[in-house]
Amino acid sequence: MAKVKTTFFCQNCGTQYAKWQGQCNACKEWNTIVEEVVQKPDKSDWKTPSSKTNKRVSKPLRVNEIDASKEARLNSLDNEFNRVLGGGIVPGSLTLLGGEPGIGKSTLLLQISLKLPYKTLYVSGEESQKQIKMRAERINPVNDTCYILTETKTQNIFKQIESLEPDIVIIDSIQTLHSDYIESSSGSISQIKECTTELIKFAKETNTPVILIGHITKDGNIAGPKILEHMVDTVLHFEGDRNHVFRILRAQKNRFGSTHELGIYEMQGSGLREVSNPSEILISKKDEALSGNAIAATLEGVRPLMIEVQALVSTAVYGTPQRSATGFNAKRLNMLLAVLEKRAGFRLGAKDVFLNITGGINVDDPAIDLAVVAAILSSNEDEALQSDFCFAAEVGLSGEIRPVQRVEQRILEAEKLGFSTIFVSKYNKISLKDTAIKIQLISKIEDLVDLIII
Ligand code: TYD
Ligand code: MG
């Protein structure tokens, strides 16, 4: 029996201490340091089967001696998931999928497991086999290469893996696993660290990809030690507003591809549906143009996305006017209102302003500014904008219309969707010729007022 050793871990950031203290030096949180019993494993948990043992010792090689042939990736048959991963699942890689409870992490991975044409082992520590079966029936199609195991002890999981020899392993979730070599409870820092280390060892030695689901804390980070994100190859985030149907899958870290890619899904009664042309869905098709609506040509990662912005400007009933924004930074809204007041002479100081980005999407792209301003102006004048207008520019403090990146990509997307005019900054360099869409160049906010308010 190995010697029992105890260590103190901060439950917030995972920093290790030799003795207890009140405040964590690293994250400055109080009362988060907890003693955990750590028993150093005598032997490795994942025992490589003798047939697969590779006693390879790596040698230094010249860069051009290294085999650069592209590693064959496993196709998940889910275009959005493949795209975010950079073209498919890399053999031997560890992927961590984080997201708020109830957002659809288990649904997404179960759905992918059911579609995968490989032998897949879905290990759940959260739901019973029956519950998973019920979920699988909702999703369809059920195939016969997906195995479900309800187990939380890593040693038992490895035993099953050894006999089943799956091509891909999915763990739901890393916080429910526990290893016999560590005495603290599941979900504690040392357990998460140990279980992940064992899984990494397994993945790298057998070249089997492993996908982990991770819970997130209330401030949006993946629960557990920060080191977890360093240990895995890819960190994905599944996000969205639970009251809306759209979900966005984003790569936060990707050792095998870009982190600019984005996957969009729609939650339906029968699982998640891939959304391949999001712009068409996010814009509501109306017969009648309404005041206060404007369309922004934004970019999410590298994907162009046409988003509808709605504003409501009304006389404040109470003394202090209210300003509220959903899906848009409220401070930025206040700044844009101040610019409109000072540079374009609109008296908005005594008005309530409400702003909403439809579809429950959160937008960081500064190119949405111009659409926000246009929507506010339209609502203030109670005059609808032409429904085939769209906007892509940032607004500066002095009311200048600033250029945005990849403007041509935005213009082409707007053209494809049949918009007649796109408003962009005069300072953007555009080399597109003969476009069916009219490119309206503007330099100051007053130009916009003259052009859209008749
Ligand atoms: P779930 O995958 O359990 O979330 P997580 O694992 O991230 O906690 O998703 C649960 C939600 O998804 C639940 O509120 C119901 C909804 N849902 C559907 O709308 N349609 C479906 O087909 C499924 C399986 C779930
Ligand atoms: Mg779940």
Please give the distance, rounded to the nearest whole angstrom, from the Cα atom of residue 99 to the centre of ligand 2. 10
Is any ligand 1 atom within 6 A of the Cβ of residue 111? no
For ligand 1, whether the C-beta of 82 sits within 6 Å is no
Per residue in 210-265, pLDDT (tens digit) is 999 998 877 777 777 677 888 899 999 998 877 788 888 989 899 988 888 888 89
Q: Is 53 a residue whose pLDDT tops 50?
A: no
Please tell me what DSSP assigns to residue 185: P
Residue nearest to atom 16 of ligand 1 (CA): 104
105 touches ligand 1 (CB under 6 Å): yes
Q: Which atom of ligand 1 is nearest to the CA of 99?
A: 7
Answer yes or no: is pLDDT of 283 > 90. Answer: no
117 is in an annotated binding site: no
140 lines ligand 1 (CB under 6 A): no
**Residue 100 marked in a binding site:** yes
Block residue for tokens 């250029």: 403
User: What crossing angle do the helices spanning 369-381 and 445-452 adopt, rounded to 10°?
Assistant: 50
Distance 127 CA to ligand 2 centre (A): 8
Dist. CA 347 → ligand 2 center (Å): 49
Same fold, 74-274 and 281-452: no
Is 360 flagged in the annotation as binding?
Answer: no
Average pLDDT over every residue of 376-395: 92
Q: Is the C-beta atom of 135 inside 6 A of ligand 1?
A: yes
Nearest ligand atom owner, CA of 175? 2
Distance 74 CA to ligand 1 centre (A): 25
Residue 188 in marked binding region? no
Distance CA 46, CA 343 (A): 67
pLDDT of residue 51: 45
The two three-digit tokens of residue 115, written as one number: 């579609």
Please give the backbone phi and psi of residue 281, each rounded to the nearest 5 degrees, phi first: -85, -35
Q: What is the mean pLDDT of residues 141-152?
A: 87
pLDDT for residue 450 is more than 50: yes
Is the minimum distance from the CB of 138 to ligand 1 under 6 angstroms?
Answer: yes
The reply to whether 104 sits in an annotated binding site is: yes
CA distance 202 to 174: 15
- CATH of the domain spanning 74-274, picked from 3.40.50.300, 3.30.420.40, 3.40.50.40, 3.30.70.260: 3.40.50.300
pLDDT at 70: 65
> From the CA of 164, how far away is ligand 2's center (Å)?
24
Instruction: Please classify residue 323 by burial: count the beta carbons closer than 10 Å to its beta carbon, then call 0-12 exposed, 13-18 middle and 19+ buried.
Output: middle
Q: What is the mean pLDDT of residues 186-210?
A: 90
Pocket probe for ligand 1: among 246, 265, 267, 273, the residue whose CB has the most ligand atoms within 8 Å is 267
Q: Is 116 exposed, middle or buried (0-12, 13-18, 19+ CB in 10 A)?
A: buried
Instruction: Name the average pLDDT for the chain.
Output: 86
pLDDT at 56: 53
Task: Say if residue 287's pLDDT is above 70.
Answer: no
Q: What does the pLDDT read at residue 416? A: 85
pLDDT score of 286: 65
Fold of 281-452: Ribosomal Protein S5; domain 2 (3.30.230)
Structural domain spans, the chain:
1-39, 74-274, 281-452
State in Å: Cα 300 to ligand 1 middle: 24
Look up residue 400 and give its DSSP letter.
B
Q: How confident is the model at residue 352 (pLDDT cuts 50, 70, 90)?
A: very high
pTM, two decimals, is 0.78
Check pocket membership of 98 for ligand 1, CB cut-off 6 A: no
The two beta strands, 210-215 and 168-172, are parallel
Residue 100 CA, closest ligand 1 atom number: 7
424-438 mean pLDDT: 89
Ligand 1 binding pocket includes 125 (Cβ within 6 Å): no
Total Cβ atoms within 10 A of residue 86 = 18
Q: For residue 360, count other CB atoms closer than 10 A to its CB.
A: 17
Report residue 364 CA to chain centroid gap: 13
Mean pLDDT of 411-416: 88
67-95 pLDDT, tens digit each: 766 668 889 889 999 999 988 999 999 99
Pocket lining: 271 vs ligand 1, CB cutoff 6 Å: yes
Can you give the pLDDT at residue 335? 94
Q: Where are the beta strands (DSSP E) in 159-242?
A: 168-172, 210-215, 234-240
For the Cβ of 269 lying below 6 angstroms from any atom of ligand 1, the answer is: yes
Candidates 404, 197, 436; CA nearest to 299 is 404
Written as six digits, the tokens of 202 are: 């397994």
- Residue 342 and residue 334: Cα distance in Å, rounded? 12
Atom 21, ligand 1: residue with shortest CA distance: 271
- Please check if 220 is assigned to a binding site: no
